């Protein structure tokens, strides 16, 4: 399934806002995406740019249920992770109907915030092949535009960084293809922490019930999904870096300026009448894309230590990354703490874990706080000090990335009976 049918489905559900007036790429895009943060926003006219732009493609659990075709989000996604389906490779692909020399200045790439280091491509799924193999990696990386053909790409020490380093050792640049304008399932799959033997697109294909096909790019024969709106083909240069940043990251704070590799875009391919795509940093779509796959991982780990797990939520207050609320039915004293330890193992960047009973809606911050205030006593809050945390946490010890892990057992306790625990009026 491609982007445009998904947009049509959003229209039928009143989940899209269409902006008719001409919009400027310098921070004005941000204003609209913030205003309509729970709906998709389609910008039909971008100043001095020939292509429309869409943002907030996946900003709510309602949209998440739509793309997964289920309200059992974690179970559905976990099934796809455990039973991926390799997509079929085909030759014909409408994405390559139009092609030209790559030029960032012709694309609707916004500058989101005033202190950003420049315009940022935030939605690109980068495809690259592991050296000496037929295995491809797909992952989302931000790219700060340097000039018409060049950008600085943020590489964290994961799969694409490994590919880049291995190619560099052999004196080779890293051929890449960047997909923009895709069905949100592809973004979720590309954001998932998978072993290198498992293809992100095979996970996406499982969710799409076998309807995803792949093809190869014209120049470097990189395997990419068909029916995306744009493909940018080029290379990560082996021995060139550039100062990337500042950038407002998922916590809403400025990430550091770093020397990062340079990409060069050689060719631009697109479908007829294409729509470009962006992701607003530190808002709901950013939280869901980064956080939801980790929620699923937590769900999976916790389900192995307790029979009844009901829900997992990485909260917006925790930037969709640092604070998990887990709803379970404890069987005996101590279960809640085991749940938290499993959650920390599943998502090592997690800083804070609150465990609640099934009567608490994990998506309702008032309910979660009520459970914390009325069900967590003197022995129910545990702080573990000097443990490795997230590099995205501004409060960490920057020298060694250590921080605290906090467990809050906000569940009812059998040894104290039920008096005072049961909520008698609605929230």
Note the pLDDT tens digit of each residue in 66-78: 899 888 999 999 9
Fill in the DSSP letter of residue 257: P
Per-residue pLDDT, 420: 63
Residue 77 Cα distances to 72, 185, 203, 206, 361, angstroms? 9, 10, 9, 9, 21
* Residue 422 is assigned to a structural domain of this protein: no
- For 213, phi then psi, to 5°, come to -115, 160
* Residue 320 is assigned to a structural domain of this protein: yes
Per-residue pLDDT, 418: 55
Per-residue pLDDT, 246: 96
- In the chain, DSSP finds a helix count (H) and a strand count (E) of 10, 23
Of 347, 68, 15, 310, which is closest to residue 209 (Cα–Cα)? 68
- Top pLDDT among 350 and 398 is at 350
Tens digit of pLDDT for each residue in 249-278? 999 999 989 999 999 999 999 999 999 999
Statement to judge: residues 295 and 257 lie in one domain:
no
Number of domains in the chain: 2
- Whether the pLDDT of residue 23 is over 90: the answer is yes
In DSSP terms, 409 is beta-bridged to 355
Statement to judge: residues 55 and 196 lie in one domain:
yes
Helix, strand, coil fractions of the chain, as percent rounded to 5: 25, 30, 40
What's the average model confidence in pLDDT over 350-361? Answer: 97
Q: Band the pLDDT of 417: cuts 50, 70, 90.
A: low
Decide if 197 contacts 234 (C-beta within 8 A): no
Q: Which residues of 297-323 are buried (b: 16+ CB within 10 A; e: fewer)?
A: bbbbbbbeebeebbbbbbbeebbbbbb
Statement to judge: residues 267 and 191 lie in one domain:
yes
Per-residue pLDDT, 34: 97
Q: What sign for the dihedral angle of Cα 25, 278, 196, 129?
A: negative
What's the average model confidence in pLDDT over 391-418? Answer: 86
Statement to judge: residues 15 and 84 lie in one domain:
yes
CA-atom Rg of the chain in angstroms: 22
* Residue 426 is assigned to a structural domain of this protein: no
Q: What is d(CA 330, CA 337) in angstroms, rounded to the nearest whole number? A: 10
Going by their DSSP bridges, the two strands 402-410 and 352-356 should be labelled as parallel
| Terminal C-alpha separation, the chain | 40
Statement to judge: residues 128 and 222 lie in one domain:
yes
Statement to judge: residues 184 and 248 lie in one domain:
yes
Decide if 167 contacts 137 (C-beta within 8 A): no
Statement to judge: residues 202 and 349 lie in one domain:
no
Using DSSP, state whether 295 is helix, strand or coil.
Answer: helix
* Residue 371 is assigned to a structural domain of this protein: yes
* Residue 279 is assigned to a structural domain of this protein: no
- Top pLDDT among 416 and 3 is at 3
- Whether the pLDDT of residue 282 is over 90: the answer is yes
Q: Band the pLDDT of 197: cuts 50, 70, 90.
A: confident
CATH number at residue 258: 2.30.110.10
Domain's final residue, options 214, 243, 272: 272
What's the average model confidence in pLDDT over 381-385? Answer: 96
Residue 278 Cα distances to 12, 345, 366, angstroms? 22, 32, 32
- Whether the pLDDT of residue 20 is over 90: the answer is yes
Q: Please give the residue range of the domain that contains residue 393.
A: 285-416
Per-residue pLDDT, 399: 86
Pick the catalytic residue from 173, 227, 249, 409.
249
Tens digit of pLDDT for each residue in 204-240? 999 999 999 999 999 999 999 998 999 999 999 999 9
Using DSSP, state whether 377 is helix, strand or coil.
Answer: coil
CATH number at residue 408: 3.40.1670.10
* Residue 76 is assigned to a structural domain of this protein: yes
- Whether the pLDDT of residue 49 is over 90: the answer is yes
Strands (E) across 122-229 are located at: 125-129, 136-140, 143-145, 150-153, 174-180, 213-216, 223-225
Per-residue pLDDT, 210: 95
Using DSSP, state whether 197 is helix, strand or coil.
Answer: coil
Statement to judge: residues 268 and 310 lie in one domain:
no
Per-residue pLDDT, 416: 59
Q: Verify whether residue 378 is a known catalytic residue.
A: no
Statement to judge: residues 196 and 293 lie in one domain:
no
- Whether the pLDDT of residue 185 is over 90: the answer is yes
Residue 271 Cα distances to 95, 144, 201, 404, angstroms? 4, 24, 20, 49
* Residue 311 is assigned to a structural domain of this protein: yes
Statement to judge: residues 363 and 227 lie in one domain:
no
Per-residue pLDDT, 419: 60
What's the average model confidence in pLDDT over 132-158? Answer: 96
- Whether the pLDDT of residue 414 is over 80: the answer is no
Statement to judge: residues 142 and 165 lie in one domain:
yes
CA 118, 389, 244 angle in degrees (round to 5)? Answer: 15
- Whether the pLDDT of residue 415 is over 80: the answer is no
Residue 31 structure tokens: 């204003």
- Top pLDDT among 420 and 316 is at 316
The residues near 386 (Cβ < 8 Å, ≥ 6 apart) are 402, 404
Domain's final residue, options 272, 304, 335: 272
Using DSSP, state whether 178 is helix, strand or coil.
Answer: strand
What's the average model confidence in pLDDT over 53-61? Answer: 96
Residue 179 structure tokens: 């997909």
Per-residue pLDDT, 100: 96
Per-residue pLDDT, 389: 86
* Residue 326 is assigned to a structural domain of this protein: yes
The residues near 404 (Cβ < 8 Å, ≥ 6 apart) are 351, 383, 384, 385, 386, 387, 389
Per-residue pLDDT, 287: 97
CA 304, 310, 316 angle in degrees (round to 5)? Answer: 105
Statement to judge: residues 180 and 214 lie in one domain:
yes
What's the average model confidence in pLDDT over 121-148? Answer: 97
What secondary structure, in 3-state letters, does 45-105 show? EECCECCCEEECCCCCHHHHHHHHCCCCHHHHHHHHHHCCCCCEECCCCHHHCEEEECCHH
Q: Band the pLDDT of 333: cuts 50, 70, 90.
A: confident
Domain's final residue, options 233, 250, 272: 272
Q: Band the pLDDT of 105: cuts 50, 70, 90.
A: very high
Per-chain mean pLDDT for the chain: 95
Residue 55 structure tokens: 């943002």
Element (H, E) at 297: helix 284-303
């Amino acid at each position: 399934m491609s982007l445009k049918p998904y947009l049509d489905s959003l229209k039928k559900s009143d989940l899209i806002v269409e902006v008719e007036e001409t919009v400027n790429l310098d921070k004005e895009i941000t204003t609209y995406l913030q205003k309509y943060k729970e709906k998709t926003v389609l910008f039909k006219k971008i100043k001095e740019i020939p292509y429309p732009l869409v943002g907030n493609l996946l900003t709510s659990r309602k949209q998440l249920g739509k793309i997964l075709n289920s309200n059992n989000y974690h179970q559905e996604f976990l099934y796809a992770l455990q039973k991926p389906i390799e997509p079929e490779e085909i030759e014909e692909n409408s994405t390559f109907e139009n092609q030209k020399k790559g030029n960032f200045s012709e694309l609707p790439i916004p500058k989101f915030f005033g202190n950003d280091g420049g315009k940022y491509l935030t939605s690109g799924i980068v495809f690259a092949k592991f050296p000496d193999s037929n295995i491809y990696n797909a992952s989302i990386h931000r790219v700060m535009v340097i000039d018409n053909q060049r950008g600085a790409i943020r590489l964290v020490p994961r799969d694409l960084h490994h590919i880049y380093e291995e190619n560099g050792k052999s004196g080779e640049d890293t051929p890449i293809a960047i997909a923009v304008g895709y069905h949100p399932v592809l973004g979720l799959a590309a954001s998932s922490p998978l072993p290198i033997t498992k293809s992100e697109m095979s996970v996406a294909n499982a969710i799409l019930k076998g309807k995803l096909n792949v093809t190869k790019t014209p120049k470097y024969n990189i395997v990419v999904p068909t029916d995306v709106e744009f493909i940018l083909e080029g290379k990560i240069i082996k021995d060139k870096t550039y100062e990337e940043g500042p950038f407002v990251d998922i916590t809403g704070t400025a990430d550091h300026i770093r020397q990062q590799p340079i990409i060069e875009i050689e060719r631009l391919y697109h479908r007829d009448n294409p729509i470009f795509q962006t992701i607003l940093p530190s808002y709901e779509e950013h939280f869901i894309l980064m956080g939801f796959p980790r929620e699923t991982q937590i769900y999976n780990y916790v389900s192995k230590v307790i029979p009844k797990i009901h829900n997992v939520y990485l909260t917006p207050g925790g930037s969709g990354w640092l604070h998990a609320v887990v709803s379970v039915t404890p069987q005996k004293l101590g279960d809640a703490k085991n749940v938290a330890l499993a959650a920390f193992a599943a998502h090592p960047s997690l800083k804070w874990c609150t465990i609640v009973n099934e009567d608490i809606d994990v998506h309702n911050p008032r309910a979660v706080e009520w459970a914390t205030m009325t069900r967590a006593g003197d022995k129910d809050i545990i702080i573990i000090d000097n443990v490795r945390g997230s590099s995205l946490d501004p409060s960490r010890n920057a020298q060694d990335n250590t921080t605290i892990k906090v467990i809050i057992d906000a569940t009812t306790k059998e040894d104290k009976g039920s008096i005072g625990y049961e909520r008698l009026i609605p929230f």
